[in-house]
């Protein structure tokens, strides 16, 4: 449609004032589509085809009923229903015509606007024969030419361009579509879902409400059309629940960033991160699947959890820190000397003096123990510190001034914060091994749920309890952020009961 608008404007078309919330009236959309239809017919004739009758599926004409009144809402409802059948429509097409207005574009490159569309996925994956409709500049002006090409060759060229552009999700989908490589089924399904979300983002989420409908028919199990219509994220989560026998949602949860405001019912979903060298391998460590409820589609996770601790003073700091070795030896030497004097006085019958020396020695020794305890923290467990608190950590414990960073040197995944959701930066600190991890969160987390072995470390979802006491229940949590941790974190994790990440009311019964 965007390319058809360019054709219409070049021909001098002037659109009528559209209704509220629309770019064009239904009548103008059909008129704009006619400019593309005329271009296609002229290219067919130039290709050497005589006048003939063809049955053409063009959405602006085929997604509305002439018997219905020209009401935008009715047309939109019918279009919404038919979009769930795109995979079937293009699977049964004799030819699929691919077009964009860019000059000399063969539509296989990553920069082609046709290839960036959300609806392109079912269009091209099931095409049996492709006709490339391309505009070219000739001496007598701009003309259009048709280039027939077998669909598998068209997809092969797209796959090559995807590999060159390091779009590995699209590459995996196209590689599997023509059995061009040994790609595991769950890997392909994950690539298909993430590629759809990526295209949704590339289109500015203009067609976000159709995200689930576009994927319906491409996944092993399809939903009933009546069950799709709650919105993009909810429809997608519902499809993932239907396909939990073929696709593990744990992998998607491990790669999703923070969700936007307004999607609290599926707040575990967000924009997936793109794979980069060192992070391609992602193996589930938990069992996770969406659970449909009236208040949303929370993610049920059964796996291992690490709870955050609160920094506490180490009352045994005199004995557990090597920095205190000299003080400890000095105190022990002095204590032994005075206790020996106390014992000699006791043996000589000077009981009062012996008791005084013993009590004073014990009190001074205890004071030294307490003073040492005020210098150091108990170095056990993980703590969450906002960046504003980070500078005070070294003041609380001098041995925590210099910590090792876990992040870029280990090729850790980088999750993107939402542009519309307030967030803040913080650090996770392992007091025992003196390692810290930079994180981006939307609320203060209380625990980490390990979900996947990702790259060189472990990916976890940071969770916090529900803020609304009326929506709190056992195992219900909110997604506060994502983090990537060293592998040894699995030694510190404990098995947990199922945790539901998302909005759950007390009346829900997943």
Domain residue spans of the chain: 2-247, 304-311+378-501, 317-373
Name the average pLDDT for the chain. Answer: 82
- Report, as an integer, the average pLDDT of 156-163: 90
pLDDT score, position 507: 37
What is the C-alpha to C-alpha distance for residues 458 and 489, in angstroms, rounded to an integer? 8
Tokens coding 248: 């593990």
* Angle subtended at Cα 225 by Cα 115 and Cα 57, rounded to the nearest 5 degrees: 45
The H-or-E segment that residue 76 falls in is helix 72-82
Parallel, antiparallel, or unpaired: how do β-strands 499-501 and 476-485 relate? parallel
Residues above pLDDT 70, as percent of the chain: 89
Tokens coding 196: 């759809």
pLDDT band at 508 (very low <50, low <70, confident <90, very high): very low
pLDDT top residue among 184 and 92: 92
Residue 383 has pLDDT above 80, yes or no: yes
CA atoms within 13 A on the CB side of 349: 0
What is the C-alpha to C-alpha distance for residues 314 and 320, in angstroms, rounded to an integer? 9
Tokens coding 33: 């589509």
C-alpha closest to that of 410 among 278, 256, 284, 274: 278
What is the model's pTM?
Answer: 0.79
**Of 66-75, 360-369, 451-460, which range is least confident?**
66-75
* Angle subtended at Cα 208 by Cα 205 and Cα 214, rounded to the nearest 5 degrees: 125
What is the tens place of the pLDDT at every residue in 111-156?
898 888 888 888 888 888 999 999 988 877 778 888 899 988 999 9
pLDDT band at 89 (very low <50, low <70, confident <90, very high): confident
pLDDT score, position 260: 64
What is the C-alpha to C-alpha distance for residues 445 and 462, in angstroms, rounded to an integer? 6
What is the tens place of the pLDDT at every residue in 176-212?
877 655 667 778 888 899 898 888 888 888 888 888 8
What is the tens place of the pLDDT at every residue in 198-248?
888 888 888 888 888 888 888 888 888 777 777 788 888 888 888 888 888
Parallel, antiparallel, or unpaired: how do β-strands 435-441 and 404-405 relate? parallel
What is the tens place of the pLDDT at every residue in 261-307?
555 567 788 888 887 776 777 888 988 888 877 666 788 888 899 99
Residue 74 has pLDDT above 70, yes or no: no
pLDDT score, position 244: 85
What is the C-alpha to C-alpha distance for residues 337 and 350, in angstroms, rounded to an integer? 17
Rounded to the nearest angstrom, the gap between the alpha carbon of residue 413 and the centroid of all alpha carbons in its chain is: 11
Q: Where are the beta strands (DSSP E) in 139-187?
A: 141-150
What is the C-alpha to C-alpha distance for residues 262 and 259, in angstroms, rounded to an integer? 9
- Report, as an integer, the average pLDDT of 159-164: 90
- Report, as an integer, the average pLDDT of 489-506: 77
């Amino acid at each position: 449609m965007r390319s058809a608008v360019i054709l219409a404007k070049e021909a001098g078309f002037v659109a009528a004032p559209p209704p509220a919330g629309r770019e064009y009236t239904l009548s103008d959309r059909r008129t704009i589509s006619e400019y593309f239809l005329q271009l296609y017919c002229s290219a067919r004739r130039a290709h050497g085809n005589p006048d003939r009758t063809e049955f053409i599926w063009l959405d602006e004409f085929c997604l509305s009923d002439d018997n219905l009144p020209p009401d935008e809402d009715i047309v939109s409802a019918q279009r919404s229903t038919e979009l769930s059948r795109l995979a079937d429509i293009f699977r049964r097409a004799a030819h699929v015509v691919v077009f964009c207005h860019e000059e000399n574009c063969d539509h296989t490159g990553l920069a082609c606007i046709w290839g960036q569309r959300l609806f392109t996925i079912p269009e091209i994956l099931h095409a049996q024969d492709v006709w490339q409709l391309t505009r070219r500049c000739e001496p007598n002006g701009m003309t259009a030419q048709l280039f027939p090409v077998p669909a598998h060759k068209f997809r092969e060229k797209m796959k090559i361009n995807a590999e060159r552009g390091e779009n590995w999700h699209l590459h995996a989908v196209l590689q599997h579509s023509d059995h061009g490589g040994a790609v595991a089924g769950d890997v392909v399904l994950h690539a298909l879902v993430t590629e759809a979300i990526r295209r949704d983002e590339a289109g500015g989420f203009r067609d976000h409400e159709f995200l689930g409908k576009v994927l319906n028919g491409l996944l092993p199990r399809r939903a009933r059309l009546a069950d799709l219509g709650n919105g993009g994220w909810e429809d997608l989560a519902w499809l993932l629940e239907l396909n939990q026998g073929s696709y593990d949602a744990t992998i998607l949860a491990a790669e999703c960033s923070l969700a936007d405001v307004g999607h609290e019912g599926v707040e575990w979903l967000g924009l997936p991160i793109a794979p980069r060298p060192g992070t391609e391998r992602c193996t589930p460590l938990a069992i996770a699947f969406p659970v449909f409820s009236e208040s949303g589609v929370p993610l049920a996770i059964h796996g291992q959890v690490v709870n955050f601790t609160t920094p506490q003073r180490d009352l045994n700091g005199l004995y557990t820190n090597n920095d205190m070795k000299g003080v400890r030896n000095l105190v022990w030497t002095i204590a032994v000397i005075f206790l020996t004097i106390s014992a000699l006085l006791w043996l000589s019958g000077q009981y009062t003096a012996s008791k005084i020396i013993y009590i004073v020695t014990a009190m001074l020794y205890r004071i030294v123990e307490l003073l040492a305890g005020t210098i150091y923290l108990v170095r056990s467990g993980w703590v969450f510190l906002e960046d504003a608190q980070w500078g005070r950590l070294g003041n609380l414990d001098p041995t925590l001034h210099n910590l090792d960073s876990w992040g870029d040197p280990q090729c850790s995944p980088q999750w993107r914060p939402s542009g519309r959701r307030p967030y803040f930066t913080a650090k996770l600190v392992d007091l025992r091994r003196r390692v810290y991890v930079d994180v981006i969160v939307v609320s203060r987390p209380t625990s980490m749920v390990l979900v996947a072995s990702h790259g060189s470390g472990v990916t976890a979802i940071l969770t916090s309890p529900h803020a609304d006491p009326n929506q709190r229940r056992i195992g219900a949590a909110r997604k506060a952020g994502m983090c990537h941790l060293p592998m040894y974190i699995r030694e510190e994790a404990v098995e947990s009961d199922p945790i539901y990440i998302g909005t759950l009311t007390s009346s829900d019964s997943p």
